Structure 1
């Protein structure tokens, strides 16, 4: 059975999940959503089509919702979504939002899964100790395997988001009122070496170097990939990230995210 998995990943959690699921499926192709962001329409005739992405502000990242809106699939395709986050499914509206977007297109979400992983949103809180991080990632592997088995068997599965409505409202408020100004919160310290990693890892090409220093434009996704992949930790977001740890999934490298076809 032909399968396509479209993924968006900033710090590697979702890419790792997408790879693990793909490894359990025959004839599966992984495709980066950011690489297709300029496409007006995306056609896919695979029998199984999946979306793997992080939860941002308790819901969908704008890049993901835009992608799903442009995607056209066969009416009988098995459509699944897998979202990664630093909290459990009851603090999310992501799957419900995917279902609503597909309903608007005359399609149905066949299965949805939450994978509780490490939150990379360090403006809110620092990363947990290494021992706790490793334990949480080990537990995530079990959830990934469970999701992969259900997808492989083409089973209907819907992990309920019982409190999705208020979290959907929070996500909408963030997207319309906070996200447009997020780029102004980024700053760069004198530790910057002008390596350009931030420019390369940005999923929407929103960063450019001027006089060797990064400048952020208005199309920010607030994914914080630039902050986490700065090798000298020179990038800050607001006033709370200074001194806090940086993160990427231990099995995902900078090259994995910037050169997905290699």
Structure 2
């Protein structure tokens, strides 16, 4: 069974590719987390986690959900992490998570996909994003091939920089950066409620027809990137930047 969490569609695309190749089912973790649903799931022997990289580890909301949810019949677990550039030493923490879940750790695979973290980085235009996805496809296929034969993923890069980013920067990043305080909707907001519907933590609520952000946020960028009128901004950092969501790409 494939479990997928996705902010703007990259992980969803990868999970769909896995499901088609392995003839397997995808469980939408956004919906599970949004509904606070930790009920038992019959998975079968193999479990695949497909997630984006948040500050050089898997999203905390995902690891928290996994530790609270019983995956019946599960024995082996693979992690597939997409990122804008690198996953750091995320594999170390994925191994610990697998041990906590009492599952055999089968490795962590990195897949470089288009950047979506508009709150801090530049986001590629559609044409460039398509090229990045096309370049990622062989890595996706290689990961699928290993899972098909029950083979562990090759160990990802693991140097001092990776250790620093995942071990030291990650907790500081969550403490200082991962907040919703800078989100706001401009006057072109039409009150369509897409931001509230897309938020996996129910952190966006409409008040007088306009979105208001609460104190829970995982910086998935779904609210800002799926806004149909580009009314949502993240302080001054998002101004003038293209919005990115995978579904708008015109892939061959």
**Number of residues paired by the alignment?**
245
Matched, 1:80 2:103: no
| CA distance in 2 between partners of 1:76 and 1:236 (Å) | 41
Matched, 1:231 2:228: yes
Change (3 A) 1:78 1:251: farther
TM-score by length of 2: 0.89
| CA distance in 1 between partners of 2:122 and 2:41 (Å) | 40
Q: 1:96: how far off?
A: 2.4
* Equivalent of residue 119 in structure 1, options 115, 121, 125: 115
Change (3 A) 1:49 1:16: same
Q: 1:93: how far off?
A: 3.1
| CA distance in 2 between partners of 1:73 and 1:213 (Å) | 39
| CA distance in 1 between partners of 2:247 and 2:43 (Å) | 33
Do 2:78 and 2:107's aligned partners in 1 also have CA atoms closer than 8 Å?
yes
Q: 1:60: how far off?
A: 1.9
The aligned counterpart of 1:257 is none
Change (3 A) 1:114 1:251: farther
Change (3 A) 1:9 1:165: same
Deviations, residues 125-154 of structure 1 (Å, cap 9, x unaligned):
322344432211101111111111111111
The aligned counterpart of 1:151 is 147
Do 1:202 and 1:225's aligned partners in 2 also have CA atoms closer than 8 Å?
yes
| CA distance in 2 between partners of 1:227 and 1:105 (Å) | 34
**Range with greater deviation from structure 2 (98-107 or 143-152):** 98-107
Change (3 A) 1:41 1:99: farther
The aligned counterpart of 2:175 is 176
| CA distance in 2 between partners of 1:73 and 1:145 (Å) | 26
The aligned counterpart of 1:60 is 58
Matched, 1:240 2:237: yes
| CA distance in 1 between partners of 2:47 and 2:111 (Å) | 18
3-state DSSP class of the match of 2:79? Answer: strand
Change (3 A) 1:82 1:41: same
The aligned counterpart of 2:182 is 185
Do 1:121 and 1:224's aligned partners in 2 also have CA atoms closer than 8 Å?
yes
The aligned counterpart of 1:165 is 163
Listed as ranges, the gaps of 5+ residues in structure 2 are none
After TM superposition, which residue ranges in structure 1, 4 or more long, deviate above 3 angstroms?
A: 39-45, 71-76
Write the mapping of 1:124-143 to structure 2, written as runs, cut at 5 A. 124-143=120-139
| CA distance in 2 between partners of 1:110 and 1:71 (Å) | 19
The aligned counterpart of 2:12 is 15
Q: 1:69: how far off?
A: 1.2
**Range with greater deviation from structure 2 (123-132 or 63-72):** 123-132
RMSD: 2.1
Q: 1:99: how far off?
A: 1.2
3-state DSSP class of the match of 1:63? Answer: helix
The aligned counterpart of 1:220 is 217
3-state DSSP class of the match of 2:109? Answer: strand
TM-score by length of 1: 0.86
| CA distance in 2 between partners of 1:187 and 1:17 (Å) | 30
Change (3 A) 1:151 1:251: farther
3-state DSSP class of the match of 2:189? Answer: coil
Change (3 A) 1:82 1:251: farther
